Amino acid sequence: MTAPLLRLDRVSRSYGDREVLRAVTLDVAPGECVALTGDNGSGKSTLLRLASGRERPTSGRALFDGAPIDENDPVTRARVATVMDPGAHYPDLTVREHLMLVALAHGLGDAAESAVEAVLEEHHLAGHDRVLPTALSSGQTQSLLLAAAFVRPHDLLVLDEPEQRLDGGARRELAHRLAAHRDRGTAILLATHHDVLAAVADRVLTLDGGIPVAAEDGRW
């Protein structure tokens, strides 16, 4: 079996006296997609913040490629792409400028322009590339966040309800795109409320009150 790229080893997370996650263990290998489901408040977003290195577990270990994951670490920044915050874009840069900055900052060099052109077309943003993010609809803003994750190199994708604000067609396109990245060896951990994305997953883990209560296998 392929060694896991992401390992969450009995991770717990508390905020004051409130325990949000309780001893969750989860591995995600290269070329594997794991979906998290559960009601709002079940701990999905907290687990993703631990998995991306944005927060540290109160107990347990969150490891990326065998080392503690930290979003400020250069290795994490180079190899882990996330879509977690609805406002994670530069408000004073156009759509094209934002994507070019992301591509160049992650080492694409001369290939940056063609990569940006590709994601603009794939995410139906080519006609909006010269506008500021404030001029986009909510669905287009979500498409920009996804384009910024896909335009850069990554070994691990961590996505918090990436289907939100997308219409049915865009959700299906996203599902096919995630399946293609998974098949090329990307490790994917996502939280979703939508069956179209959950169908991409090799495993679906349901959380309730910060505890895994059900798991199932499945894959396109």
Per-residue pLDDT tens digits for 10-61: 999 999 999 999 999 999 999 999 999 999 999 999 999 999 999 999 999 9
pTM: 0.94
Mean pLDDT, residues 179-195: 96
Residue 63 has, within 13 A of its CA and on its CB side, a CA count of 15
Contacts of 78 (CB under 8 A, 6+ apart): 106, 107, 153
Q: Dihedrals φ, ψ of 89, to 5°?
A: -150, 165
Q: Dihedrals φ, ψ of 180, to 5°?
A: -65, -40
**CATH architecture for the domain at 6-217:** 3-Layer(aba) Sandwich (3.40)
Question: Which residues are bridge partners to 92 per DSSP?
Answer: none
